[in-house]
Amino acid sequence: MSDFASFAKLLESSKRVVVLTGAGVSTLSGIPDFRSSSGLYSKEFGSMSVESILDIDFFSSHPDVFYDWAREYWFQMDSYSPNIIHNVLAQMEGAGKLSEGIFTQNIDGLHQKAGSKKVYELHGSVRDGYCMKCHAYYGYSYMAEAVNNHCLPLCKQCGGVVKPDIVFYGENLNSSILMRAENAFANADLAIVLGSSLVVNPAASLPYISARMGKDIVIVNRDKTYIDDYAVLKFNDLESFFVEAAKYFKIKV
């Protein structure tokens, strides 16, 4: 039996399945990841590290620098399309294979664009924004139009800076989504980790909850993760794994 056949058998025998996705899932769509040799953290912006730019205190005092950096990466989302991973996961969910849903560290909205319904964004989404003064809501198109015209997105009501609804360093994750994630990983028969280096907590700790509960874990990620020794199966290449998945589930992508 091949490794993928072993995974398929495991998936079919699992009643409750949860998925965690990281930046590696979206690289096939052309969106750079963070920690690879060519990732976002490998390049400074001016003389600043990207991690410094993504700090909430820095954003609060220098939103113009953040938006200058983010213009190229996060405000061109209309040009990106879901890839085979997003599409297969959406159809697996539609077939009832992913009962506990997808918890994602990604902010790009490509899971939803592919048709997935049960998506929980651990680090927020660039599709939404709000005024830091009066909390008025603004969508992606409003922010993107301003940013791509080299302007700060400002609130129409009070003139405050509009912040994308993503979790910056120094901010807490949404507590209700995190609690839902912890419950899902504790109760699922099978936890699948896709394209995440499992470095950033608390998202990185979610598979360990499954391990501690004696549940099955499958990892598909190019690099090693701290949870590899707990996994029943480990695959290194996301694209080839999902080509096999598409064949197995007879999914056209």
158 is known to lie in a ligand binding site: yes
To the question of whether residue 131 is assigned a binding role by annotation, the answer is yes
Rounded CA-CA distance 238/28 in Å is: 9
Confirm if 123 and 173 have CB atoms less than 8 A apart.
yes
Nearest of 163, 196, 170 to residue 181 by alpha carbon: 196
Question: What single DSSP character describes residue 173?
Answer: P
On whether 151 is known to bind a ligand per the annotation, the reply is no
User: Smallest Cα–Cα separation from 118: which of 149, 141, 148, 97?
Assistant: 97
Cα angle 132, 135, 136; round to 5: 120
Q: Is 123 an active-site residue?
A: yes
- Would you say 147 and 67 are in contact if contact means Cβ atoms under 8 Å apart? yes
Task: Give the residue from 23, 243, 107 showing the smallest Cα distance to 235.
Answer: 243
Q: What token pair was written down for 90?
A: 């959406």
Of 86, 123, 135, 150, which is the active-site residue?
123
User: Would you put residue 18 in left (φ > 0), alpha (ψ -120 to 50) or beta?
Assistant: beta
> Which helix (DSSP H) or strand (DSSP E) does residue 232 occupy?
none
CA dist 187 to 14, 60, 180, 211, Å?
Answer: 11, 39, 11, 11
Task: Tell me the C-alpha distance between 38 and 56, whole Å.
Answer: 24
Structure token digits, residue 101:
């849903």
Nearest 10 degrees: Cα torsion 126, 128, 132, 137: 170
| Token reading at 34 | 């963070």
Q: Is residue 155 annotated as involved in ligand binding?
A: yes
Catalytic residues: 123
Residue list, annotated binding site for Zn(2+): 131, 134, 155, 158
Binding-site residue numbers are 131, 134, 155, 158
